[in-house]
Structure 1
Amino acid sequence: MTRQPLRLAILDATRILEDAGVPSPRTDAELLAAHVVGVERGRLGLIPLVDPDVIEKYRGLVARRAERIPLQHITGVAAMGAIDLAVGPGVFVPRPETELLLAWAIAVLETTPTRPPVVLDLCTGSGALALAIAHARPDAVVHAVELDTAALAWARRNADTRAAAGDTPIVLHHGDVTDRTLAPELEGGVDLIVSNPPYIPLGAQLDPEVADHDPSTALFGGADGLSVITPMVANIARWLRIGGALAIEHDDTNGTQVAGLLRERRVFGEVAEHNDLAGKPRFVVARRVATATEAARGH
């Protein structure tokens, strides 16, 4: 049985994926190869030759990716921060853009005076932000909310996996982040709230990987992309303690509007807009600076 060059198979895969319109054909070809041979992408050069059955398996995965099935559905894994998460049909695939929000959140916790800090992840999906924060800050008490039952099942699976790996368990809540009666036990007691909610405006043009595979309930936020964020802001004000911080990811057309929603509520201050690595508006941050009574008095 003659072994075959993996490098040539990756070149062929890159061409196939490029012809299929995959946005990052070389990267995806290498990541699929790394998945098949069981090494990190950066170590592929250490495996010059592989058996024919490996090449056959690799070509099968490449063919699936050429059909615009998400890479993460094929490998079954998506990364967030320092952890990997199980993902697949029925749950939103975490995006690299959210890594910036995660980095901001972890930095904020470094300056949080209360110990252990209480963190709340709204619209947790696979549990990505909640579990990445729990991994980075094992002293934190992390809560996560998800409405969709299929996504919640993925979050539970990931939470169980992380707990088995030694991370601090998180508290999962099945609920609607716009429900004014949700989680009353957290009122005024949360140090940090993060959210990657449904925020894409209806009618937006999306890549097949997103439109055909991510659940629509995790994608769309009404005609303007704000149907979840707008009512969620009132709950955020209810949950955050004075001095607590928040970060909301949003569509790149809505940074100014989301910042405006926070500025309109005078309990919030230090509102700031953040761009992603492509320079597009991606998330807004703020702090709870006053009680409702103080805000009404203009303090």
Structure 2
Amino acid sequence: MSGAIRQLLADASARLADAGVESPDSDARLLLAHVLRVNTGELPLLDLTGRLPDPTEVASYDALLVRREKREPLQHLTGVAHFRHIELEVGPGVFTPRPETELLAGWAIDNARAAGESPVVVDLCTGSGAIAKAIADEVPDARVHAVELDEHAHGWAERNLAGTGVDLRQGDMGTAFDELAGAVDVVVCNPPYIPLEAWESVAPEARDHDPHLALFSGDDGLVAMRVLEARAAFLLKPGGVVGAEHADVQGESAPAVFAATGRWTEVRDHRDLAGRARYLTARLAR
């Protein structure tokens, strides 16, 4: 690229880099494309054709950059998060879905398909509804149920899951879906898993903008994981499977929550594309 668009992006990227943003070039492009209402791939063409952002667009771009410099999540600025093959509305009050969680969703989708006709899937701690919506999208005959405790997050999930057929409820994952006891094929969950003592190490985008209910889980970060283990054992049919995301430092401690009870077989941990421990899976003993 050359010209006005290129210079605008270069200046924006430098600002974001100075603010500590991890992906300054990408964020600069995404925000400018959002302001100009084009795809990022169209930005070079605009430059070649001599397209100049008008003063209003420049001011809007600068306002978004100021917010991103303060480490407000990119998705809050655009209002959209992309997750597998779907789009989600996100904003203040809901956990922003991460790309690495797509691996857990993919595992749930594969196992829902393998369960046969009309599999029953439960998404605990659904947040924005990302995993539940992805499953409904890719396994159309699945009967998907989802629950979220936080009122604001539940509101976002309502918007994202409208028209999908997902049975969404507001409530505690530890007591949800009593009527499905012993009838579920797949339980999936992205629970809170950050130890309270790790507060300072959490990225500002999450620590200052994501709901704390979605982040922190007791002194060891495993309080929610223990609740999940008990609820999954209650909900799943014998031979059913559970998958749960965890922190990269919990590659041994999170699976140990399941292994210690004697209720599970095939307790395994899985790594993400960067080679970090990311999620566990287990099968309820028959």
TM-score, normalised with respect to structure 2: 0.93
2:236 matched to 1:233? no
Instruction: Say which SS state the counterpart of residue 262 (structure 1) adopts.
Output: helix
TM-fit CA distance, 1:116:
0.5
> CA–CA distance in 2 between the matches of 1:243 and 1:216?
34
Kindly provide the CA deviation profile for residues 126-182 of structure 1, in whole angstroms up to 9, marking residues without a partner as x: 11110111111111111001111111111111112xx1xxxx311112211123xx3
> CA–CA distance in 2 between the matches of 1:19 and 1:36?
22
- For 1:293, the equivalent position in structure 2 comes to none
2:188 matched to 1:194? yes
Greater Cα offset, 144-153 or 253-262: 253-262
- For 2:251, the equivalent position in structure 1 comes to 255
Greater Cα offset, 185-194 or 54-63: 54-63
> CA–CA distance in 2 between the matches of 1:279 and 1:112?
28
* Correspondence list, 1:44-123, <5 A: 44-48=43-47, 49-52=51-54, 53-113=56-116, 115-123=117-125
- For 1:265, the equivalent position in structure 2 comes to 261
- For 2:144, the equivalent position in structure 1 comes to 142
2:131 matched to 1:129? yes
Q: Which residue, 212, 217, 224 being the options, matches 1:221? A: 217
2:6 matched to 1:31? no
Does the 8 Å contact 2:119/2:185 carry over to 1?
A: yes
TM-score, normalised with respect to structure 1: 0.89
- For 2:179, the equivalent position in structure 1 comes to 185
**Letter of the aligned partner of 2:33 in structure 1?**
A
> CA–CA distance in 2 between the matches of 1:232 and 1:105?
16
Instruction: Say which SS state the counterpart of residue 28 (structure 2) adopts.
Output: helix
Q: Which residue, 268, 275, 286 being the options, matches 2:282? A: 286
> CA–CA distance in 2 between the matches of 1:50 and 1:144?
46
Instruction: Say which SS state the counterpart of residue 224 (structure 1) adopts.
Output: coil
Instruction: Say which SS state the counterpart of residue 197 (structure 2) adopts.
Output: coil
> CA–CA distance in 2 between the matches of 1:271 and 1:46?
51
**Letter of the aligned partner of 1:6 in structure 2?**
I
Does the 8 Å contact 1:202/1:225 carry over to 2?
A: yes
> CA–CA distance in 2 between the matches of 1:35 and 1:107?
33
Does the 8 Å contact 1:267/1:288 carry over to 2?
A: yes
Instruction: Say which SS state the counterpart of residue 287 (structure 1) adopts.
Output: strand
Kindly provide the CA deviation profile for residues 47-72 of structure 1, in whole angstroms up to 9, marking residues without a partner as x: 21233232222222112111111101
RMSD, aligned α-carbons: 1.4
Does the 8 Å contact 2:33/2:40 carry over to 1?
A: yes
Greater Cα offset, 25-34 or 43-52: 43-52
> CA–CA distance in 1 between the matches of 2:281 and 2:264?
10
> CA–CA distance in 2 between the matches of 1:239 and 1:43?
48
Q: Taking structure 1 as reference, are residues 50 and 119 closer, same or farther at Cα in structure 2, changes over 3 Å only?
A: farther
> CA–CA distance in 1 between the matches of 2:93 and 2:167?
21
Kindly provide the CA deviation profile for residues 202-223 of structure 1, in whole angstroms up to 9, marking residues without a partner as x: 1211121111111111100111
Q: Number of aligned pairs?
A: 278
Does the 8 Å contact 2:113/2:139 carry over to 1?
A: no
**Letter of the aligned partner of 2:269 in structure 1?**
E
Identity rate, percent: 48
TM-fit CA distance, 1:187:
0.6
- For 1:277, the equivalent position in structure 2 comes to 273
2:203 matched to 1:207? yes
Does the 8 Å contact 1:6/1:55 carry over to 2?
A: no
Does the 8 Å contact 2:126/2:147 carry over to 1?
A: yes
> CA–CA distance in 2 between the matches of 1:46 and 1:289?
58
TM-fit CA distance, 1:110:
2.6
Structure 2: any 5+ residue segments left out of the alignment? none
Does the 8 Å contact 2:80/2:87 carry over to 1?
A: yes
